[in-house]
Amino acid sequence: MTSERFSATYRIETAHPLSEAAEAMAGEQSSGTFVDVPGETERLRERHAARVESITELDTVNEPTLPGAAPPSVGDPNEYTRAEVRISIPVRNVGASLPNLKTAVAGNLFELRYFSGLRLLDVEIPDKIVEAYPGPQFGIEGTRQIVGVEDRPVVGTIIKPSVGLAPAETADLVSDLAESGVDFIKDDELLAGPPYSPVEDRVQAVMAALDDHESASGGEVMYACNITGDVDEMLSRHDAVVEAGGNCVMVSLNSVGLSAVKRLREHAEVPIHGHRNGWGALSRCPQLGFDFRAYQKLFRIAGIDHIHVNGIRNKFCESDESVVDSARAVQTPIAATDDAAMPVFSSGQWAGQAPDTYAALGNVDCMYLAGGGIIGHPDGPAAGVEHIKQGWEAAMEGIPLDEYAENHRELRQAIHHFGPVGTGR
């Protein structure tokens, strides 16, 4: 693959000959039409056509996964072959534009009648786009510096209840949570800036409360203030966060979209915590939509610093394998520069998943968020935070949790309460 072309990889399902189906994809991604049209000369084809680079046949199924596919003109209409297809596209077609790259690799393709399944697995980001876009401003190292945590995950929690707290109530809760020794506290995605809790008021109250605390590690407690909104609204909310001494903003990525996230990044002076709510609609049908590998690249290039990846043995429908793949993808460089983001584990987490998470990740460059796993600890939130740190210590030292718990009271109690080890809470 030269720097003149970039590629995208798909899993397809089709009753048509694979090469014919793959060529239809390439056509739709460049010439974009079904019939020969005047002016589409050989020169255009050569300079601008997408190209099928490889086709790897996978399994076959007897029923189409998605409706609406056309039967093949020849061959068995009841046999649907799955395959991995890599298509390359000239960089000049999209230029240095992330939204237009998205249109090229994830536009009308999903509706082609050749396919009873089509999923974008991965996409290569051309150097031209990498250079033109900001990428993460703080990333893993910048986030670590703010919270003063070096050699373990950033341990965090979520403000609950999700909705209904006035700014002063939120601040009280944050104060209690900070007291427990967490490094990071985030708003719920359901609370951004409603009339009963404007961002400006909430961040002032919360930061005033946090001024009285210092994290156990000597850094600041990071508060991800949910500023999700319209573009100018997000920029002014960001400014209110900075003015109040805040150190992180959170955005619901799918609710605002790619271009708004990039606009926020250009303006941002603090890390951007990316919440992926709505991701299920894009991913939960295995033969449709996006793999997280592809999806997270777009938002990292646009400039987020953290992104949610769910957690091992989570409360949602995602498999552990998918969670681990996602977290690894977020840590994998896109270009030569350090453009990794920090994967954020959450949902049903306590120390019980720390060993498996560490084993799968091979490092501690993540956020590890627990709600009930912290405030639900029988000895209170401080013990809740402590037991999670102990769980990661055990994981890093290769000591089974049960064994480590013998000399660590908070972990022992948590295993008794949340366990056994190997379960979600």
Which residue carries 């120390």 as its tokens? 351
Q: Which residues contact 87 (CB under 8 A, 6 or more apart)?
A: 7, 8, 9, 10, 22, 25, 26, 29, 50, 51, 52, 53
User: Are the C-beta atoms of residues 306 and 271 closer than 8 Å to each other?
Assistant: yes
Taking contact as CB under 8 A, which single stretch among the options 136-144, 258-266, 337-345, 399-407 is the one that binds a second copy? Answer: 258-266
257 contacts a second copy (rule: CB under 8 A): yes
378 binds a second copy (CB under 8 A): no
How many residues touch a second copy (CB under 8 A)? Answer: 98
**CA separation for the pair 401, 404 (Å, rounded):** 5
Please report, as residue ranges, which positions from 129 to 158 form the binding site for a second copy (by CB under 8 A).
none
Binders of a second copy in range 19-78 (CB under 8 A): 29-35, 37-40, 44, 47-48, 65-70
Binding string, residues 300-339; x marks residues near a second copy by CB under 8 A:
----------x----xxxxx--------------------
CA 312 vs. chain centroid, Å, equals 15
User: How many of the other CB atoms lie within 10 Å of CB of 324?
Assistant: 18
* Distant-in-sequence, close-in-space partners of 44: CB < 8 Å, separation ≥ 6: none
| Residue 273 sits in the site that holds a second copy (CB under 8 A) | no
Nearer to a second copy, 65 or 296 (CB): 65
Strand partners, 307: 274, 343
Q: How far is the CB of 213 from a second copy (least distance, A)?
A: 19
- Is 284 an interacting residue with respect to a second copy (CB under 8 A)? yes
Q: Please, which of residues 200-229 interact with a second copy by CB under 8 A?
A: 228-229
| Sole binder of a second copy in the list 15, 171, 192, 361 (CB under 8 A) | 192
| Torsion angles phi and psi, residue 309, rounded to 5 | -130, 15
Q: Tell me which of 77, 161, 400, 422 binds a second copy, using CB under 8 A.
A: 161
Judged by CB, which is closer to a second copy: 54, or 103? Answer: 103
State the minimum distance, in angstroms, from the CB of residue 399 to a second copy.
29
Least separation, in Å, of the C-beta of 256 and a second copy?
A: 4
- Answer yes or no whether residue 285 interacts with a second copy by CB under 8 A: yes
Report, in Å, the least distance between residue 333 CB and a second copy.
Answer: 23
Phi, psi of 186 (to 5 degrees): -125, 150
User: Which residue of 60, 255, 331, 332 would you call a contact of a second copy, by CB under 8 A?
Assistant: 255
Write the burial class of residue 315 (CB in 10 Å: 0-12 exposed, 13-18 middle, 19+ buried).
Answer: middle
Token code pair at residue 310: 């769910």
